[in-house]
């Protein structure tokens, strides 16, 4: 299968992640509160299964500022280096994803 056919078979969320990876930018996805878990699960699957990357969940709230976000990512990276692990879940602030209650997945 050539790349054009493979890309044409991606759904909207998969294509959004691909575009963000190519552009080296964060992806922001809006979802209602009742769909956040489903969106999170889908993003984790896309990350692992399609792009062979390690998903990391950092839960944020509207009060999370950039320094808290950076600190959470730094702590996660340090823990992974020490553990030799490549995935995990953090409580605040995302390296490859950011989940905000009742609005965004980034």
3-27 tens-digit pLDDT? 666 888 999 999 999 999 999 987 7
* Lookup: tokens for 106: 């980034």
- Res 6: pLDDT: 85
What gap in Å lies between CA 59 and CA 61, rounded to an integer?
7
- Res 105: pLDDT: 45
- Res 30: pLDDT: 79
What gap in Å lies between CA 50 and CA 105, rounded to an integer?
18
Low-confidence residues in the chain, pLDDT < 70: 1-5, 84-106
Q: Where are the domains of the chain?
A: 28-105
């Amino acid at each position: 299968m050539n790349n054009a056919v493979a890309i044409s078979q991606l759904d909207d969320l998969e294509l959004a992640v691909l575009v963000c990876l190519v552009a080296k930018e964060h992806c922001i996805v809006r979802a209602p509160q009742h769909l956040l878990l489903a969106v999170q699960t889908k993003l984790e699957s896309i990350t692992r299964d399609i792009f062979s990357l390690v998903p990391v969940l950092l839960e944020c709230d509207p009060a999370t500022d950039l320094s808290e976000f950076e600190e959470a990512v730094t702590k996660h990276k340090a823990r992974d280096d020490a553990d030799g692990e490549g995935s995990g879940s953090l409580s605040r602030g995302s390296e490859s994803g950011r989940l905000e209650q009742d609005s965004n997945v980034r």
